[in-house]
Amino acid sequence: MMPIRTILVLVLAAAGWLGQDTPKPASATSPTLESARKRWERFSPEEKARARTRYERFLAMTEEEREQLVESARQLHERSERVQKELGQTDGERLATMEPAKRRELVHEIVAEESRAVGARIRGQFPESWLARLENATQEERARAFLEFRVHQRDRVARYAIGELGRHLALPAEEIRRLQELPGNERCDAVLDLRKRLSAQEVDESGLPPGLTREQWDAWLALPPEQFFDTFQRYRESRIFAQGKREAVRALFEAARPHPERVLALADLPADERRAKLTAERRERCVHALRDGNLLAAEEIEALTRSSDAEFFLAVRRVLRSAGSPKR
């Protein structure tokens, strides 16, 4: 009977083995990696060669530098996704007929423009000493300095912010202390959560922000704190110059901001020519806004028209910044 038992064991083992799942390809285990692989496959040979060269430089960086670059690239990627989604809503038909490479190029340009505009606004709030450190660092060191700044903020500023917000919200002292002692990322999440609660409290006490319906506000309140802050921040920026006496500044703000629809309108031009034309259009809009709003003296405007693009837009930012941004 022994052989029969042995055979039975073998047959059962074989049946069990037969019933096992087929091993899945490693790529299927990570949707992010699989998505990256698909993007990689769409690269031209030149783009692949360029990416490999960049990767060599990336590997030569320190861990902190790499960590910050990955985080910054993630933010840019999210911005790029949002831009594509918004363009899809307004110019979806035109985008759909474009070559993928062309579409990537245009989206990249729009993201670059928007990023510079957002960065310029943040620069106005950024501590001078840290800004100087960033501008004087090499490209690699800059990423590490930026990470150090963020860590410093999370370690120190976040505690102060929780104290301030907790006081406005009349939180018990023990609760404020508990939130201040949370680990770094959780402490930042707590800041955003308290900001959201404070905004909700202010609306309850003083009414809806101008231009918003109750439905819109309720929809915003349903968002997670991070998205709520992002949405509310954009609303605030759009409203900064919406008051009567600052109409001229609002017009300059509109003139200086990137206009993605113009990028699409000039899509048939070569990239360099398109960028030059877009910059020229933007300068022209700003000059009109400066003149019409009497924001600068005529001779200052005249001098600006002869300056480089960098100098011109720096002056425009200075005018906008001098209008001030509301502090919370």
Partner 1 sequence: MSSDCKSFRSALEAELLGRPSQEKLAWLSWHAHLLACGSCRELLAREEALEALLASLPEPKLPAALTRRVLLRLREDRAVEVRLDSLLDLGLSGATEPPRGLAAEILARLAPEREAEAARSLDALLDRARDVAVPSGLAARVLAGVAAERVRAARTVRRTWIYAAAAGLLVLLLGRFVWVWNHTARPSETEFVAQDEAAPDPQMLAALDVLEQWDLLMQDDVDVLLSTLGPADVALLDYR
Q: What residues from 229 to 268 belong to the interface with partner 1 (CB under 8 A)?
A: 229-230, 233
In angstroms, rounded to a whole number, what is the distance separating the alpha carbons of residues 282 and 258? 8
* Contact flag: residue 32 with partner 1 (CB under 8 A): yes
Q: Which stretch binds partner 1 (CB under 8 A): 9-17, 93-101, 248-256, 301-309?
A: 9-17
Minimum CB distance to partner 1, residue 142 (Å):
7
| C-beta pairs of 292-299 under 8 Å, 24+ apart in sequence | 292/248, 292/251, 293/247, 293/248, 293/249, 293/251, 293/252, 294/248, 295/248, 295/249, 295/252, 295/319
Under 8 Å between Cβ of 190 and 162: yes
* Contact flag: residue 36 with partner 1 (CB under 8 A): yes
* Contact flag: residue 100 with partner 1 (CB under 8 A): no
* Contact flag: residue 60 with partner 1 (CB under 8 A): no
Minimum CB distance to partner 1, residue 84 (Å):
13
* Contact flag: residue 189 with partner 1 (CB under 8 A): yes
Minimum CB distance to partner 1, residue 302 (Å):
26
Which residue, chain included where needed, has tokens 């404070």? 198
Judged by CB under 8 A, the number of residues near partner 1 is 81
Cβ neighbours for 198, distance < 8 A, ≥ 6 positions apart: 165, 168, 169, 328
Site for partner 1 in 105-164 (CB under 8 A): 108, 111-112, 114-120, 122-123, 125-127, 131, 134-135, 139, 142-143, 146, 150, 153-154, 157-158, 160-161, 164
Q: Which stretch binds partner 1 (CB under 8 A): 13-21, 83-91, 242-250, 263-271?
A: 13-21
Largest CA distance in the chain: 109
